[in-house]
Structure 1
Amino acid sequence: MSEVHLRNLSKSFGTTVAVEDVTLTVPDGAFVTLLGPTGAGKTTILRLISGLEQPDAGDVVIGGRSAVDDTPAQRNVAMVFQQYSLYPHLSVKDNLAFPLRSPLLKTPEHEIDRKVTEIAEVLRIPHKLNNKATELSGGEMQRVSIGRALVRNPSIYLMDEPLSSLDAKLRSDLRIELKRIQETLGATLLYVTHDQVEAMTMSTHIGVLDNGRLVQFGSPREIYENPVNLYVAGRLGQPRINILPADMFAGSPAGARQIGLRPEHIEQGEGKESTVKRVEHLGDQIRLHLTLEGHDLVTLTDPHADLEPGDIISIQPRNPLFFDASGARIN
């Protein structure tokens, strides 16, 4: 696998700026996730790395050399899309073998058999090799689609929301599987999603994008605990971070206009009185919807807590996040 560097990468489509001056490094063997809403520039970055789009400015460096003048084939990247893109008339074995049989690779048949068998074991579908693609479940089809990328030995795997079309249970199962596969193979992987749970659970690094710009890049823990601004703080965390006027509580630093309270920042038992609006029982925890001086907020409490709508509980902040009028973090 190879380390991939993006240097001051920019791309526009007419008057729409898709990617603006993005610089980041995908380390060799890392699982890097690009996180952001629709239109943030995530897929465009993948297409610029793969060579499906050409940058207006900047450089794509793969394995220590510039790739901007290379064709997609010369860049040796493997891409997995949201849709399965399988050949329905072919067996699972032939779908997995298809990339290896391209005139460009000219892989011997005995080597194809070895690689297909190996990847089928990694994907835990060796018993499906003789099935037609149309005989598979949605999760199995996506495994085969991922496997078609894995049979190759590319510089980097690029994955564009490959789990988003699956149901919640399958997404949860395949998140675990995909991370296991990446670690087993030691693969370098750049993954695109708008799902913060996928980003938090699978990644070694997260890049948060906003309107084509890279706002913050770091480990999941760093992004969650030390967001650079209000936008980043709102991208990660479930329930979402609560944003309240900073003057609601004493002790706000100079210049603070808003206070950010994640569930772990809300201490119950002392402080200001709030009213319970709604109680959500989630099994291992209870999600409380509160009203505090006309402001709504959500926090978590003990699963055995006996609370009802209308109850009054006292709360106070503990190690909260503060933001100025522009949304920038105040440390």
Structure 2
Amino acid sequence: MADVALRNITKRFGAVAAVRELSLTVNDGEFLVLLGPSGAGKTTTLRLITGLETPDTGSVMIDGRDVTRDPPGSRDIAFVFQQYSLYPHLTVYDNLAFPLRSPARRVPEPVIRKRVEQTAELLHIASKLNNRATRLSGGEMQRVAIGRALVRDPSIYLMDEPLSSLDAKLRSELRLELKRIQLELGATILYVTHDQVEAMTMASRIGVIKDGELLQCGTPREIYESPSSRYVASRLGTPQINFLPARLLSEVAVPPGTETVGIRTEHLRIGARNGGAMVGRVHRVEHLGEQNHVHLDYKGETLVTLADPHQPLQAGQEVELHLMHPLCFDSAGQRVAAAAH
């Protein structure tokens, strides 16, 4: 494995800047996830690393070597695409072996067999090696697509939303499998997704990207607990973080310059009225088994919080609200540091 560094990369397509002055390092053995919506520049970033696109400015470094102008074939990169891209007329074995039979590599057949069988065991598809790709389920096809990259043992794996076309149950299973494999192999992976659950559960670090700009990069816990901006705060958390205008919270001490207060659902507690200053009204309750999502009206704003499923609540009921660990943002949406005590 190797580390990969992007240094002040910019890539434009006509008048559109797909990537803007992006600097990022993926450390050796790290699972780094780029998180952002469609059009944020995630796939373009992968294509710049692999050499399918050339940056207008900036450089791409792999293991300390400048590969910015090198052809894709010389970069020792494996790419897992969103679609499976399997050869339907070939067996699982031959699909996995295909990258190793390239004239550029000339791997001996005994070595190919060993690598294919080891990879199939790792992905739990050893019993499917003689099946044609058309006889596989969606989850099995995605395992083969990932396996075709794993047999290569490249410097870095680039993965472009490889689980997005699977159903929720399979996505959950393969998230665990992919993280397990990465840890067992010590693989370096740069993974892009718009799914915050994938980012939170798999990443060593998360880079939040918007309009081609990397806004913040840190561990999942750092991004969640200490977001640099209102936008970053909104990318993580289910239900989504609540935002309230600071003017509605005169009873809450906030640092100067605070325009908006962000409140994570687990940091908004509700209870029976007992003389507290913040009073909201229950709008509706979503019963989700192990917890309830409670939708509240507070001074014309909507809030969502979590509640014990056995807590008696009903629409129209007035409740006291208690805030903990509020996040403060200025008029531009940037984080305002809490005042030192």
Contact 1:286 1:300 in 2 (8 A): yes
Helix, strand or coil for the counterpart of 1:61? strand
- State the aligned residue count: 331
Contact 2:269 2:305 in 1 (8 A): no
The answer for the alignment partner of 1:219 in structure 2 is 219
Q: Distance in 2 between matches of 1:236 and 1:319?
A: 16
Q: Distance in 2 between matches of 1:159 and 1:79?
A: 6
Q: Distance in 1 between matches of 2:186 and 2:255?
A: 45
The answer for the alignment partner of 1:267 in structure 2 is 269
Match of 1:329 among 308, 314, 335: 335
The answer for the alignment partner of 2:96 in structure 1 is 96
Match of 1:295 among 301, 313, 317: 301
Query: Does residue 258 of structure 2 align to residue 252 of structure 1?
Result: no
**Pairwise CA distance, 1:263:** 1.2
**Larger mean Cα displacement after TM superposition, 100-109 or 302-311:** 302-311
**Pairwise CA distance, 1:268:** 2.0
Q: Which amino acid aligns with 1:308?
A: Q
Q: Deviations over 1:83-126 (max 9, x none)?
A: 00001111000000000000011000000000000000000110
**TM-score, scaled to structure 2:** 0.96
**Pairwise CA distance, 1:305:** 1.6
The answer for the alignment partner of 2:43 in structure 1 is 43
**Pairwise CA distance, 1:210:** 1.0
Query: Does residue 330 of structure 2 align to residue 306 of structure 1?
Result: no
Q: Which amino acid aligns with 1:161?
A: E
Within-5 A mapping of 1:25-104? 25-104=25-104
Contact 1:279 1:308 in 2 (8 A): yes
The answer for the alignment partner of 2:242 in structure 1 is 242
**TM-score, scaled to structure 1:** 0.99
The answer for the alignment partner of 1:319 in structure 2 is 325
Q: Distance in 2 between matches of 1:190 and 1:232?
A: 19
Within-5 A mapping of 1:170-185? 170-185=170-185
Q: Distance in 1 between matches of 2:294 and 2:172?
A: 25
Within-5 A mapping of 1:1-12? 1-12=1-12
Q: Which amino acid aligns with 2:129?
A: L
Q: Distance in 2 between matches of 1:137 and 1:308?
A: 44
The answer for the alignment partner of 2:145 in structure 1 is 145
Q: Distance in 2 between matches of 1:170 and 1:305?
A: 33
Q: Which amino acid aligns with 1:190?
A: L
The answer for the alignment partner of 2:117 in structure 1 is 117
Q: Distance in 1 between matches of 2:40 and 2:151?
A: 31
The answer for the alignment partner of 2:160 in structure 1 is 160
Q: Distance in 2 between matches of 1:163 and 1:150?
A: 16
Q: Distance in 1 between matches of 2:211 and 2:78?
A: 26
Contact 1:271 1:316 in 2 (8 A): no
The answer for the alignment partner of 2:228 in structure 1 is 228
Helix, strand or coil for the counterpart of 1:329? coil
Q: Distance in 2 between matches of 1:135 and 1:310?
A: 54
Q: Distance in 2 between matches of 1:304 and 1:82?
A: 42
**Pairwise CA distance, 1:184:** 0.9
Q: Distance in 2 between matches of 1:303 and 1:109?
A: 59
**Pairwise CA distance, 1:317:** 1.3
**Pairwise CA distance, 1:311:** 1.7
Query: Does residue 203 of structure 2 align to residue 203 of structure 1?
Result: yes
**Larger mean Cα displacement after TM superposition, 195-204 or 266-275:** 266-275
Q: Deviations over 1:216-237 (max 9, x none)?
A: 0110100010001101000111
Q: Deviations over 1:276-323 (max 9, x none)?
A: 111111111111111111100111011222212122211021110000
Q: Distance in 1 between matches of 2:87 and 2:312?
A: 55
Which of structure 1's runs of 4+ aligned residues deviate more than 3 A?
Answer: none
**Larger mean Cα displacement after TM superposition, 301-310 or 32-41:** 301-310
Contact 1:3 1:27 in 2 (8 A): yes
Unaligned runs of 5+ in 2: none
Helix, strand or coil for the counterpart of 2:116? helix
Q: Percent identity?
A: 60
Match of 1:279 among 272, 278, 285: 285
Q: Distance in 2 between matches of 1:303 and 1:186?
A: 41
**Pairwise CA distance, 1:243:** 0.5
Q: Distance in 1 between matches of 2:298 and 2:231?
A: 23
Q: Distance in 2 between matches of 1:124 and 1:116?
A: 12
Q: Which amino acid aligns with 1:324?
A: D
